[in-house]
Structure 1
Amino acid sequence: MNRTSASLVIVALAVTAVGCGDDGRGYAVPEKICDTKVDPDLLAPLLSDGEKIHQRDVPREHGATCDVSVQGGDGGGVYITRDAVTEGVDPLEVKKDTLIGYGNAKKVDIGDDARLGDKGALVTTSCAPKGKDTTFALEVSLSSPTPKDVSERRKALERFLRSYLPTAAKAQGCRS
Structure 2
Amino acid sequence: MGTRGKCRGPRATALLAAALAIPLSGCGGSEGYTVPEEICGRKIDPGFVRALLPEGERFEAEMTPIGDNMTRCMLSVDGQRELGIREYRDGGDFDAMEFAAERPRRFRNPEKASFGADTVVSDGKVLSLNPCTYQEERVVYILDITVNRFDADSSDGWREELERFAEAYLPVGMAETGCEE
Instruction: Please tell me the residue identity of whatever aligns with 2:120.
Output: R
* Distance in 2 between residues matched to 1:49 and 1:40, nearest whole Å: 14
Deviations 1:91-112 (A, max 9, x none): 7366665564131111111110
Correspondence list, 1:70-149, <5 A: 70-71=77-78, 75=80, 77-85=82-90, 89-90=93-94, 92=96, 97=102, 100-146=105-151, 148-149=154-155
Instruction: Please tell me the residue identity of whatever aligns with 1:136.
Output: Y
Could you say what the CA RMSD is over the residues aligned between the two structures, in angstroms? 3.0
**Structure 1 length-normalised TM:** 0.80
Structure with the largest fraction of helix: 1
Q: Which has more radius of gyration?
A: 2
Question: 2:42 corresponds to which residue?
Answer: 36
Alignment size in residue pairs = 167
> Is 1:47 matched with 2:53?
yes
Q: Is the 8 A contact 1:57 1:66 kept in 2?
A: yes
> Is 1:68 matched with 2:78?
no
Aligned identity (percent) is 27
**Given the superposition, is the C-alpha separation of residues 40 and 84 from structure 1 closer, same or farther in structure 2, using an over 3 Å criterion?**
same
* Distance in 1 between residues matched to 2:139 and 2:28, nearest whole Å: 45
> Is 1:58 matched with 2:76?
no
Instruction: Please tell me the residue identity of whatever aligns with 1:70.
Output: V
* Distance in 1 between residues matched to 2:120 and 2:56, nearest whole Å: 29
**Given the superposition, is the C-alpha separation of residues 90 and 33 from structure 1 closer, same or farther in structure 2, using an over 3 Å criterion?**
farther
Note the residue ranges of structure 1 that are not aligned, 5 or more in a row: none
